[in-house]
Amino acid sequence: MNNMKTVIAPVNIAVIKYWGKRDEELILPLNDSVSATLATSVMCAKTSVFTGPQLTSDEIWLNGKKESFTNKRLVNCLEGIKAIAAKEKSVDEEFLKWKVHVCSVNNFPTAAGLASSAAGYACLVTALAKLYNVKSDVSCVARLGSGSACRSVYGGFVQWHAGTEPTGKDSIATQIAEASHWPEMRALILVVGDSAKKTSSTKGMKKTAETSELLKHRIEYCVPQRTTSIIQAIKEKNFPKFAEITMKDSNQFHAVCLDSYPPFVYMTEVSHKIVEVIHKYNEVCGEVKVAYTFDAGPNACLYLLEEEVPKIISLIKYVFPSSSPDNFVTGLNYEQHELSKDFLNKVGLEPESVDLLKYIIYTKVGEGPAEVTDGSHLLDQNGLPL
């Protein structure tokens, strides 16, 4: 059916962080960022878009709830794709005039505090691009929905170029390497029980850009060097280098939040405990085997190679005991591993109180958005949610 398209799209977790806009309206960043796209088999957004002459208004349903289509970012995405379609003459003019219905769901709990907007906007924009037969890069349209969404338009390892144009036309994402380039790369998302109400990313990065003196140095000196180095590390599959830059950049992002005025913090004492666990583990291994990175919240994303996964899960379970250990790890399968007493002694950490970590999502680097061709749409033939 040509007036219905359904797409799934991945989340991505940055290793060089995006923090601070040079243009609030166009969502243009102050610095380049780099991320890995995570497998849609574990976590994804799924979006159906439908158009037809019978529709009287643009409508959207998010995770089963009807929402307003007046959200500016949403409108910008729809208009952005339609503008490209008009320019490319990829569909009839008439087709472009019809209203659209959008239905989107995440297959992971949004309550987990995981950045679902990146997957959601990448999914919406890709679905619209397929509906309107658009061929050119749509990452700059996804960016209008949520900055980091532009990175979810591609699989593997992705760079979002800050660009210099005032229009933002060069602020796009490009792929550094396919997921298959480094097939052993894995990610563990450690979901921390979040209590306090936190500063939103949008407000936080505005505050940092306006008040942090250290941000200037980060943007001018640190990020350009780190971006070059981590791209090289990815191309060379140099894990220790990749990991060290990832950790340093996460720390620096949280440092500039603290250097803002008033300061704000996203990491909790549990987050800092995770940092300590990873540094201890790497120290005992005598090599950097695992990296942590934290976005605008307390959850950790650990990057590591497949062979380390059983050991790290075992260590995390030891330090952060769970009252429901059977459901503690979701996602990919892994082999159980029992850490030796000797190893645990060397790490020298004691178990924390129960349930400081809610659960772990085990996933890997994966592909970009993909069209769903099995007919499992989220909207029916009338464009209404199923």
Instruction: Provide the minimum distance between the beta carbon of 292 and a copy of itself in the complex, in angstroms, as a whole number.
Output: 10
> For a copy of itself, which stretch binds (CB under 8 A), given 165-173, 186-194, 247-255, 325-333?
247-255
> For a copy of itself, which stretch binds (CB under 8 A), given 160-168, 245-253, 305-313, 353-361?
245-253
> For a copy of itself, which stretch binds (CB under 8 A), given 31-39, 227-235, 261-269, 359-367?
261-269
Q: How many CB atoms lie within 10 A of CB 1?
A: 8
Is residue 353 within 8 Å of 193, Cβ to Cβ? no
Nearest CB to a copy of itself, comparing residues 261 and 386: 261
Which two tokens mark 357?
Answer: 């970590």
- Is residue 217 part of the contact set for a copy of itself (CB under 8 A)? yes
Is residue 352 within 8 Å of 321, Cβ to Cβ? yes
- Is residue 142 part of the contact set for a copy of itself (CB under 8 A)? no
- Is residue 384 part of the contact set for a copy of itself (CB under 8 A)? no
- Is residue 248 part of the contact set for a copy of itself (CB under 8 A)? yes
Q: What is the three-class DSSP state of 195?
A: coil
**Residue 245: what residue type?**
I
Q: Which of 262, 286, 325, 375 binds a copy of itself (CB under 8 A)?
A: 262
Nearest CB to a copy of itself, comparing residues 91 and 258: 258
> For a copy of itself, which stretch binds (CB under 8 A), given 67-75, 149-157, 242-250, 354-362?
242-250
- Is residue 214 part of the contact set for a copy of itself (CB under 8 A)? yes
- Is residue 40 part of the contact set for a copy of itself (CB under 8 A)? no
- Is residue 15 part of the contact set for a copy of itself (CB under 8 A)? no
- Is residue 207 part of the contact set for a copy of itself (CB under 8 A)? no
Q: Which of 12, 106, 260, 322 binds a copy of itself (CB under 8 A)?
A: 260
DSSP state string for 245-312: HHHHHHHHHHHHHHTSSS------HHHHHHHHHHHHHHHHHTS--EEEEE-SSS-EEEEEEGGGHHHH
Q: Which of 82, 218, 289, 358 binds a copy of itself (CB under 8 A)?
A: 218
Give 50's contacts (C-beta < 8 A, 6+ positions apart).
3, 4, 100, 101, 102, 379, 383
Instruction: Provide the minimum distance between the beta carbon of 344 and a copy of itself in the complex, in angstroms, as a whole number.
Output: 19
- Is residue 261 part of the contact set for a copy of itself (CB under 8 A)? yes
Is residue 85 within 8 Å of 132, Cβ to Cβ? yes
Q: How many CB atoms lie within 10 A of CB 269?
A: 11
How many angstroms separate the CA atoms of 288 and 291, rounded? 8
- Is residue 279 part of the contact set for a copy of itself (CB under 8 A)? yes
Instruction: Provide the minimum distance between the beta carbon of 259 and a copy of itself in the complex, in angstroms, as a whole number.
Output: 4
| H/E run at residue 371 | strand 370-371
- Is residue 213 part of the contact set for a copy of itself (CB under 8 A)? yes
Q: What is the three-class DSSP state of 325?
A: helix
- Is residue 269 part of the contact set for a copy of itself (CB under 8 A)? yes
Q: Which of 254, 358, 364, 377 binds a copy of itself (CB under 8 A)?
A: 254
Q: Which of 118, 179, 209, 256 binds a copy of itself (CB under 8 A)?
A: 256
Instruction: Provide the minimum distance between the beta carbon of 351 and a copy of itself in the complex, in angstroms, as a whole number.
Output: 15
Please tell me the count of residues contacting a copy of itself according to CB under 8 A.
Answer: 27
- Is residue 221 part of the contact set for a copy of itself (CB under 8 A)? yes
Mark residue 64 as left, alpha or beta (left: phi above 0; alpha: psi -120 to 50; beta: remaining). left
Which two tokens mark 265?
Answer: 């913090």
* Among 247, 258, 237, residue whose Cα is nearest residue 281: 247
How many angstroms separate the CA atoms of 338 and 310, rounded? 8
Instruction: Provide the minimum distance between the beta carbon of 181 and a copy of itself in the complex, in angstroms, as a whole number.
Output: 27
Instruction: Provide the minimum distance between the beta carbon of 52 and a copy of itself in the complex, in angstroms, as a whole number.
Output: 49
How many angstroms separate the CA atoms of 386 and 383, rounded? 9
How many angstroms separate the CA atoms of 301 and 274, rounded? 10
The length of the chain in residues reads: 386
Nearest CB to a copy of itself, comparing residues 130 and 254: 254
298 to 17, 114, 204, 351: CA distances (angstroms): 15, 10, 15, 19
Positions touching a copy of itself (CB under 8 A) are 213-214, 216-218, 221-222, 244, 247-248, 251-252, 254-256, 258-263, 265, 268-269, 272, 275, 279
